[in-house]
Amino acid sequence: MGSNPIADKFSQPLDRVAWVAMAILTVIIAAILLTGERTAPSVREFSWDEQQIGAEDRAFIMTFSRPMNRESVEDHLKIEPPLPGKISWAGRRMAYTLDRPAPYGFEFQVTLDGARDRFSDPDDESAQIQPFLSRFRSRDRAIVYLGVEPEERGRLILYNLSTADETTPRKTILTPKELWVTDYEPYPEGDRILFSASDRLSFLQGRFEQQLYTVTTGIHPDIPGEPPPDPKPPGKIERILDSQEYQNLSFDLAPNGQIAVVQRIPKDNPGQVSLWKIEPGKAPESLGNEPGGDFMITPDSTGVVVAQGQGLANLPLEPNAEPLDFMAQFGQILSFKRDGSAAAMVKFNTDYTRSLFLVIPAQGVQKELWRTNGSILDAQFSPNGDILYCLLTKLIPGDEYQEEPYIAAIDLNTEQLQTLIVLPQQREIQMSLSPDGLGLLFDQIFVASGEENPAVSTDLPRTSSGATVTGSRLWLLPLTGAPPAEEVKGELKPEQLPFSGLQPDWLP
């Protein structure tokens, strides 16, 4: 009788062990398939874990170890303090998009407990997610301004409204006494400030010798998804543009922080005003454009809108480029919506009134929002772009020309204007909307009368009209952050800040 190959093979000791092992594995696999995986689901990744976020950070991502019952996750997810938002899913990844930027100066806690995976029995407690806890924080509420007190005049000062650590000073003077700062603009991350300044003696003697510098703020924002920055102390100054051959006038910093545009005049040809592009590591480059007035870099950091002749030209940031567009009906650009989809512009009418327009180029929309016989000094979009905060004036009836300034909010959904606060009579006011949209800064300047000027110290600041500034208060107007229809209801009450200064601005 012939032998059975299979039986002979199974009769070998090693073969018997292998067959037994295979049988055991088969039983285990079958048990898993029948009973399911017994380990609890978990959060594998949270994109804002222990991070610091800014107004530009509008969504976080949660990645789970396996597919989840979405309704149970949405019901059990908690954020304290609350941050309203919307949830969307893509497989095991959940995105939470904030309705509005997170308010600055807070720490937030995210918890998820009690949610379960998609295929589990609702009564099976072992299928509930491993309890999850994480924290993140928003940037500090910090402002910058120009000093007016004796030891601070003409110097750039940082004040942190959120500092809770007693070892960290709230107030930091960023620039030395030898420099007199005339204008400034923070970089997008708030770690540096671009500013123009003359040496103090030249400035006080009336010589216009502005140079461009950067200064560190000492703030080190953590950007989600990027390595931590190298700490740099506040007050480290670097000159990026001198004034040997050119007078440097106004400037603007691109939203990406990589380009600055400066209006310059050759000292040997004072009639030739032009725009220059300044980039790190490169020599200044003239754009070769026609002379113009006020200008602003576009939100995509690739172009500049400049007042030329009787309109606004949109120029690429390239030498001798032809305009991409020319808007003859407008005379001034005030601001862009953050995503660049809309702009606030001013039209100077033939009846000596001024009109504030909302311009949406992609839709061909040019909508008049407000017409006034006074002035339109500023307009800034809320973070969501649904409200336009405006600094306006109206003429006071009488023989003497006087303007009454006020701050108003226009709900762009209804096009209704609501006055928020009427300001003391003064022409030069600077307004700044906080990056989270919850506060407006503005200054209140006091000037010497004509007969007082001769006795006033020569090292006091002056307005653009030459009036001597004897003092200035800084005010914060809190905004509710409620939906537009509620946000502009009633006149709000400003709070005087406990220090004096000029030209206040928020750090991003």
Cα 333–chain centre separation: 19
Domain chopping of the chain, boundaries: 5-35, 43-138, 380-508
What stretch of H or E contains 112?
Answer: strand 107-112
Q: How many CB atoms lie within 10 A of CB 289?
A: 20
pLDDT-derived band at 333, boundaries 50, 70, 90: very high
Cβ pair 431, 408 in contact under 8 A = no
Residue 24 pLDDT more than 80? Answer: no
What mean pLDDT is predicted for residues 327-356?
A: 96
For residue 470, report the phi and psi dihedrals to the nearest 5 degrees: -95, -15
Cβ pair 347, 363 in contact under 8 A = no
User: Mean pLDDT for the chain?
Assistant: 87
The DSSP result for 136-164, as a single string, is EEEPP-EEEEEB-STTTBT-EEEEETT--
Highest mean pLDDT among 280-289, 384-393, 465-474: 384-393
Q: What is the CATH number of domain 43-138?
A: 2.60.40.3710
DSSP 285: E
Residue 63 pLDDT more than 50? Answer: yes
Tokens (6 digits) for 106: 């807070």
State the greatest distance between any 2 C-alpha atoms of the chain, in Å, as a whole number.
134
- For residues 268, 272, 275, 279, the Cα torsion angle rounded to the nearest 10 degrees is -20
Q: What is the pTM of this model?
A: 0.86
3-state SS, one letter per residue, for 323-378: CCEEECCCCEEEEECCCCCCEEEEEECCCCCEEEEEEEHHHCEEEEEEEECCCEEE
Q: In what order do the strands lie in the sheet with 132-138?
A: 52-53, 132-138, 107-112, 77-80
Q: Which residues pair with 295 in a beta bridge?
A: 306
Residue 223 pLDDT more than 50? Answer: yes
Provide the pLDDT for residue 483. 39
Which amino acid does the sequence have at 409?
Answer: A
Provide the pLDDT for residue 467. 80
Choice among 34-43, 181-190, 287-296, 397-406 with the minimum mean pLDDT: 34-43
pLDDT-derived band at 486, boundaries 50, 70, 90: very low
Residue 457 pLDDT more than 80? Answer: no
Residue 454 pLDDT more than 50? Answer: no
> pLDDT per residue over 89-142, tens digit each?
999 999 999 999 999 999 999 999 999 998 877 777 767 899 999 999 999 999
Cβ pair 348, 331 in contact under 8 A = yes
Cα 81–chain centre separation: 21
Provide the pLDDT for residue 151. 92
> pLDDT per residue over 391-445, tens digit each?
999 988 887 878 899 999 999 999 999 999 999 877 689 999 999 999 999 999 8
Residue 265 pLDDT more than 90? Answer: yes
Cβ pair 346, 355 in contact under 8 A = yes
